[in-house]
């Protein structure tokens, strides 16, 4: 017995509401794609932003962020 014949024979023994469930599931499987689009890395996502960030820019921002750390009032 082939797979199709086996499925048909099982399908014929089911009550009507189960046949509808099976049809819904078969439609879901038919619409489901086995192909998944590859994920982009963060660099790939931001590639089109076209901004220049230099080491000097990073150093300047770090100095601004940490300029008041540790604060004297926190140490007391």
Q: Residue 25: its pLDDT value, please?
A: 93
Q: Is the pLDDT of residue 46 over 80?
A: no
Q: Residue 17: its pLDDT value, please?
A: 95
| 27/39: higher pLDDT | 27
Cα-flanking dihedrals φ and ψ of residue 50, to 5°?
Answer: 55, 65
- How much of the chain, in percent, has pLDDT values that exceed 90? 49
Nearest partner of 16 among 24, 5, 4, judged by Cα:
24
Q: Considering the domain boundaries, does residue 27 fall inside one?
A: yes
Task: Give the range of the structural domain holding residue 58, as residue numbers without chain letter.
Answer: 3-31+43-69
| CB burial of residue 56 (10 Å; 0-12, 13-18, 19+) | exposed
Q: Considering the domain boundaries, does residue 38 fall inside one?
A: no
Residue whose pair of structure tokens reads 């038919």 in the numeric block: 30
Whether the predicted model's global pTM rises above the 0.75 cut: no
Q: How many domains are there within the chain?
A: 1
Q: Residue 19: its pLDDT value, please?
A: 95
Indicate the pLDDT class of residue 75, thresholds 50, 70 and 90: low
């Amino acid at each position: 017995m082939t797979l199709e014949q086996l499925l048909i024979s099982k399908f014929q023994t089911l009550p009507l509401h189960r046949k509808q469930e099976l049809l819904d599931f078969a439609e879901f499987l038919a619409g489901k794609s086995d192909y998944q689009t590859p994920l982009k890395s963060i660099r790939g996502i931001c590639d089109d932003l076209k901004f220049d960030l230099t080491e000097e820019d990073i150093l300047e921002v770090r100095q601004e962020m940490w300029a008041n750390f540790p604060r004297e009032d926190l140490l007391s």
